[in-house]
């Protein structure tokens, strides 16, 4: 069987911790409390995030892989985990003028990977914020 025309998906999982406060300068304090509830706490709150990066492409006949995990792991560690782990998301340039929701965090991570990782096609980014909440972003509509 030839793998030349076969497309496969690879999803890799990473863990990081960060804090944020959900607050919009465009809304009053009352509107922020009504919109974000306890997540609008002035002192913020933290999460242990589980990040999944899904890439795809043809299976290389020589290696049998979509992409080398060493390449993907090295990229995510240097460009994503080093940037976001143990950070207050509100203070980062990615969230200047944007509320650091996990939806916006997905978009920010997707954009970084899309612009800079060229060893496979980026399909989506998924982040588990809690056992009950997860978010995905797969690019513009």
Residue-range domain boundaries for the chain: 7-137
Q: What is the mean pLDDT of residues 95-107?
A: 97
| pLDDT bucket at 98, cuts 50 / 70 / 90 | very high
Asked if residue 1 has pLDDT above 70, the reply is no
**Rounded distance between C-alpha atoms, residue 98 and residue 32, angstroms:** 14
Which percentage of the chain shows pLDDT scores above 70? Answer: 96
Residue appearing with tokens 């509100």? 90
Q: What is the mean pLDDT of residues 90-114?
A: 97
Contact residues for 139 (Cβ-Cβ < 8 A; gap 6+): 110, 114, 124
Predicted model pTM: 0.94
pLDDT score for 2: 57
Q: Could you tell me which residues are beta bridge partners of residue 19? A: 46, 88
Active site residue 86: yes
Residue length of the chain: 141
Strands 7-20 and 87-88 come out as: parallel
Q: What is the mean pLDDT of residues 1-14?
A: 82
First-to-last alpha carbon distance for the chain, in angstroms, is 36
- pLDDT tens, residue by residue, 9-35: 999 999 999 999 999 999 999 999 999
Selecting among 20, 23, 106, 129, the annotated active-site residue is 129
Q: Could you tell me which residues are beta bridge partners of residue 14? A: 51
Cα 105 to its chain centre, rounded Å, is 6
Q: What is the mean pLDDT of residues 94-106?
A: 97
- pLDDT tens, residue by residue, 60-88: 999 999 999 999 999 999 999 999 999 99
Active site residue 67: no
CATH of 7-137, one of 3.90.79.10, 3.30.479.10, 3.40.640.10, 3.90.1150.10: 3.30.479.10
Q: What is the mean pLDDT of residues 91-96?
A: 96
Selecting among 9, 45, 77, 86, the annotated active-site residue is 86
Selecting among 26, 39, 61, 121, the annotated active-site residue is 39
């Amino acid at each position: 069987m030839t793998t030349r025309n076969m497309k496969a998906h690879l999803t890799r999982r990473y863990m990081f911790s960060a804090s944020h406060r959900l607050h919009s300068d465009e809304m009053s304090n009352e509107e922020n409390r009504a919109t974000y509830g306890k997540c609008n706490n002035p002192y913020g709150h933290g999460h242990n995030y589980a990040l999944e990066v899904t890439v795809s492409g043809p299976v290389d006949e020589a290696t049998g892989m979509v992409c080398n995990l060493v390449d993907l792991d090295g990229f995510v560690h240097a460009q994503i985990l080093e940037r976001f782990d143990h950070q207050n998301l509100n203070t980062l340039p990615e969230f200047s003028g944007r509320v650091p929701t996990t939806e916006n965090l997905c978009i920010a991570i997707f954009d970084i990977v899309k612009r800079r990782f060229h060893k496979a096609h980026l399909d989506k980014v998924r982040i588990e914020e809690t056992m009950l909440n997860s978010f995905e972003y797969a690019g513009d509509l």
